[in-house]
Amino acid sequence: MSSIRINAPLEDSVIFKLKAGDRVLIEGTVYTARDAAHSKLKALIENNQELPINLVGQVIYYVGPTPAPEGKVIGSAGPTTSTRMDRVTPILLERGLKGMIGKGDRSTSVIDSIIKNKCVYFAAIGGAGALIADSIIESEIIAFPELGTEAIRKLTVKNFPAIVAIDSFGNNLYNQGPLEYLEKIRDNAKTW
């Protein structure tokens, strides 16, 4: 199966074409944010303060990269578990965030918000942080430097590999995958 090449920030016309299970290669700008950065973003929103980035059309990658080794722009950059950001995600989606990259399934409230706001959730491969880092060609801290690895970074990515885990219609690979597997087992049992 070939991969679909997409550019970030995301446009609605691209998002609507993506289906759960599609493999993608992302090129462009992606921002990092994990638990601590999400808490700070939530506080800024609640206090009607300006956010450090314009979220409209943007993609956030749930990652806290390791320090860059000599000759590299970033260290290992594998995804973290997405559910830790679920309490803040709907607020960010309402403000224009269009894509998220992480690992693991999302809560019902996040899935509902993905459908309502016509967004997409991508899964990156856990345990492949060193390989993913090769897709990151620039990295710059743009907010909350005091958070260290959890600071918000602006990344420039090229051929960043991901899978559409939840599409803008709510189709969820985390639900579909096990059902398809069970169906194949049933079909194979009939041929024995």
| Strand partners of residue 166 | 121, 172
Residue with tokens 């398809």: 180
| Strand partners of residue 65 | none
Instruction: Please confirm, yes or no, whether 105 is among the known catalytic residues.
Output: no
Phi, psi of 54 (to 5 degrees): -80, 115
Determine the number of helices (DSSP H) and then strands (DSSP E) in the chain: 6, 7
Backbone φ/ψ region at 167: left (φ over 0), alpha (ψ -120 to 50), beta: beta
Nearest one of 106, 88, 89, 95 to 20, comparing CA atoms:
106
For residue 95, give every residue at least 6 positions away whose Cβ sits within 8 Å of its Cβ, in sequence order, or none. Answer: 45, 51, 55, 56
Q: Tell me which DSSP letter residue 107 carries.
A: -
Exactly one of 6, 30, 33, 38 is catalytic; name it: 38
Active site residues: 38
